Structure 1
Amino acid sequence: MGEAERAWARVRQNLRESAGARLFDQWLKPITLVAHDDPDTVRLALPSAFVTNWVRSHYADRLTLEFKALMPRVRSVSIETRAAGDAPVTIAAPVADPSPATVADAPRATAAERPSLDPRFTFDRFVVDSSNMVAFNAARALAEPGAPRFSPLFLHAGTGQGKTHLMHAIGHAYLARHPQAHVICMSAERFMYDFVQAMRARDTFAFKQRLRGADLLLIDDLQFIAGKDSTQEEFFHTINEVMGANKRLVISADRCPQALDGVEARIVGRMAAGLVADIKAPALPLRRAILDRKLIDVPGARVPPDVLDLLAHRIHANIRELEGALNRVIAYAQLTGQAIDMDFAVATLGDVLRGAQRRVTIDEIQKLVSQHFELKPLDLVSARRARAVARPRQIAMYLAKRLTTRSLPEIGRKFGGRDHSTVIHAVKRIEELRDTDRDVDDAVRVLMRELEG
């Protein structure tokens, strides 16, 4: 056995130990070492174009590092598609049960086999309050050992509110308890891309086998699958297989299942049959707590409380933007050697703070809502209770609460002298309807975009 064959035998052994038997057998076991004369290049072959593309995208770097560690002169690893008979290939090195000597000599596995899970997104780094508690508890429950209490779990929230964080946290927690489990985490766009590539390669079987064999399947941003008929067909059968096998399924989107335009009713029905949990926009206390938690990860940074208060008050679009502002302040301070104070933060974040400083007034809200629903502005402050007026009035009150700093009594006074309890009822009612009534949710989204723009 030559040097390349000995190295390949060890690389295969390392891959099996790190990836687990199921993933290895499905994707990596078919790899063979191609006979070649170039000592600087290792050539590997697979019998299918689709599997070749998958291995290239997920394991090319890992294979290169493994071979370089064992054969320092190797400069690159080529992963090719070669059907039987296309060219001479060596017989794949057998994978024996690891002996103590083999394990001791082999390089240990790294986290490369789980590239799709962000190491920052774990349950202990997720800040919880009433706006996200149901979603957080549901996510933890789904990651617990034993038969899942519910599946699928459908998480919905606006951009940057923590959906992806919870999905990755589920993956981390589940793998911690089941290290050999087959976990797949992908966006809906990636699902579409992989499916299209499989169809072009005329090899959809491996694609179906891979996803339907998952113990935990995580699909992010389902709204992007809308209108793609062939992809929706495959998606429906995939989730059917996963749910039918009592496996764990987690889906996320920017809105509730019933509000997903362009998504087939049977898919919506499947999603709604599980547990649907929303994450609301973070209120001021949660935004401030998130900044405190973020600082724990940067122990050398010194950010005064008044600067944190400024960020929490002024940046409320989403958590991602809030964390980005804090990162920017800290990075600029480290690069310039300056201490962080209020003047430094304002100078550093001038454009960000100006963008977040847009002040929406109740008058603007009333004018835009009346135009949207083809009403007179006076209708919103009148005593009329007809549904055609009452529902737009509730939406206007909801927007006033979300987009202005006015108190509940002040909002009530601007709507014909109504009591603050009426405003509370309107806000709760619209929150409920956004989860169940597509027309209401769409109207609120359109109005918010126009007001915030």
Structure 2
Amino acid sequence: MLERIDMEAVTKAWTHVRGNLRRSAGQRLFDQWLKPVVLIEDSTVDAVRLGLPSAFMTQWVRNHYSERMLLEFRAVLPDVQSVTIETLSEEPKRVLTAEPTAPAITPGERPLFDPRFTFDRFVIDTTNRVACNAAMAVAEPGPPRFSPLYLHSGTGQGKTHLMHALGQAFLEANPQATAIYVTAERFMFDFVQALRNKDTHAFKTRLRSVDLLMIDDLQFIGGKDATQEEFFHTVNEFMSSGKRLVIAADRAPQALEGFEPRLAGRLGSGLVADIKPAELELRRAIVERKLEDMPAVDMPAEVIDLLAARITSNVRELEGALNRLVAYANLSNETITIDFATVTLGEVLRSAQRRITIDEIQRAVSAHFEVKQIDLISERRAVAIARPRQIAMYLAKRLTTRSLPEIGRKFGNRDHSTVIHAVKRIEDLRGKDVEIDGAVRSLMRTLEG
């Protein structure tokens, strides 16, 4: 009887968890990865077991959702100790992993690209436009306009997104084509295994027979002479045959450490496109684009501004912070406010924040509004002074870790309640006054630059 009660409780909890996952992940992502997840019948309130039809899907869901699922279940059933994600049964593999012993690739075979990473979900501005347009051009039917395409940027700026988008668009436009996406580390591992098994011919044939080859994180084979030699010949093969080759790394070809000059030269002979760090407006646009896939999430503009202004290191961390904030709000049944975001993301915001000082803010505001910096800390109450002062206080609260009393002291020893009033006033005006909102955005860009 106890076992049946357990299963009934877990089943009810699973229904609730699935609903939360659908709302937070968005319909497309949910349908692709999470909808196939099933509850295994011998689950208990101590140990929940979930199943998926393939090993690849199992691994993906484990990597991206295992912790989230545990938190979701515990929110409904506090006694849940573990959530395991298992493969129910084997099915024919659809992922091209460049295994040395794998059979030849046949037309129509597809890598299982991440469905979140498409061109229409890639937010474009001046920092990444050339790279995105180049990726779109490579995906077009017909002879490639250039090969190789070499993408480079710091971590988490969108290289992998563009490669997945390119691969999906290319295969949609060329139904009979074949493609492989592989990391440089996997390329090296498979090559070494092929050497040990004395089966390099199968390794070479599998990689070089495809119409599109994409290799990510190339910097990891720096100093690996044998792997670089094989990679050099692969590059030459694709260039001489006029096929598509796309490479991504964290720096330009000439700056790669431990690479032979002839290989760096080959990589730079196609189109080299860099992706610069996302600026404030792009970061804000990215958050807004992600929220479009979360229609049930109500996020105030000031919270979006907080994320965009404070998490500046890379886009991946920005998206991670957004996902964490939404997940915690769902799990705690809380409304997302500026205070909730500050508490939930406290450590993330502190570690990601560039040290902007109140003095810097005051100088920027005085220059923008053409007032004297000393006026911002004076007793003058004319609107021409009071409004810039309130904006400066607002920015000090949003862009620094200073407490309200500390901010008040920096503005002529004002009380912390004056700072609270200023922050609320500017938040209200930003939703009504286009000029005020534009001024705040402009100042944020200036201060972050």
Q: TM-score, normalised by structure 2?
A: 0.56
Residue matched to 1:213: 209
Equivalences for residues 366-405 of structure 1 within 5 A: none
Query: What is the distance in 1 between the residues matched to 2:330 and 2:348?
Result: 19
> 1:261 deviation in Å?
1.3
Equivalences for residues 185-264 of structure 1 within 5 A: 185-264=181-260
Q: Which amino acid aligns with 2:111?
A: R
Q: Is 2:283 the counterpart of 1:287?
A: yes
Query: What is the distance in 2 between the residues matched to 1:204 and 1:273?
Result: 27
SS in 1 for 2:166: helix
> 1:180 deviation in Å?
2.3
SS in 1 for 2:116: coil
> 1:214 deviation in Å?
1.3
Residue matched to 2:111: 114
> 1:66 deviation in Å?
4.3
User: Cα deviations across residues 3-62 of structure 1 (Å, max 9, x unaligned)?
Assistant: xxxxxxxxxxxxxxxxxxxxxxxxxxxxxxxxxxxxxxxxxxxxxxxxxxxxx9899999
SS in 2 for 1:240: helix
> 1:179 deviation in Å?
2.0
> 1:205 deviation in Å?
0.7
Equivalences for residues 10-409 of structure 1 within 5 A: 64-66=89-91, 113-115=110-112, 117-359=113-355
User: Cα deviations across residues 68-93 of structure 1 (Å, max 9, x unaligned)?
Assistant: xxxxxxxxxxxxx99xxxxxxxxxxx
> 1:357 deviation in Å?
2.6
User: Cα deviations across residues 94-124 of structure 1 (Å, max 9, x unaligned)?
Assistant: xxxxxxxxxxxxxxx9xx9523x21111100
User: Cα deviations across residues 121-150 of structure 1 (Å, max 9, x unaligned)?
Assistant: 110000000010000111100100011111
**Identity across the alignment (%):** 63
Query: What is the distance in 2 between the residues matched to 1:280 and 1:358?
Result: 18
SS in 1 for 2:251: coil
Confirm or deny: 8 A CA contact 2:303 2:338 kept in the other structure.
yes
SS in 2 for 1:249: strand
Query: What is the distance in 2 between the residues matched to 1:282 and 1:57?
Result: 32
Residue matched to 2:76: none
Confirm or deny: 8 A CA contact 1:140 1:170 kept in the other structure.
yes
Equivalences for residues 423-438 of structure 1 within 5 A: none
Q: Which amino acid aligns with 2:338?
A: M
Query: What is the distance in 1 between the residues matched to 2:295 and 2:88?
Result: 35
Q: Which amino acid aligns with 1:190?
A: R
Residue matched to 1:15: none
SS in 2 for 1:119: coil
SS in 2 for 1:282: coil
Confirm or deny: 8 A CA contact 1:214 1:242 kept in the other structure.
no
Residue matched to 1:390: none
Q: Which amino acid aligns with 2:258?
A: G
SS in 2 for 1:114: coil
**Alpha carbons of structure 1 residues 191 and 58: separation in structure 2 relative to 1, 3 Å:** farther
Query: What is the distance in 2 between the residues matched to 1:360 and 1:176?
Result: 47
Query: What is the distance in 2 between the residues matched to 1:63 and 1:292?
Result: 37
Gaps of 5+ in 2: 1-54, 60-85, 93-99, 102-107, 358-398, 401-449
Gaps of 5+ in 1: 1-55, 68-80, 83-108, 362-403, 406-453
User: Cα deviations across residues 271-309 of structure 1 (Å, max 9, x unaligned)?
Assistant: 111000000000000000000000011111111110000
SS in 2 for 1:186: strand
Confirm or deny: 8 A CA contact 2:110 2:178 kept in the other structure.
no
Query: What is the distance in 2 between the residues matched to 1:241 and 1:204?
Result: 15
Query: What is the distance in 2 between the residues matched to 1:66 and 1:342?
Result: 47
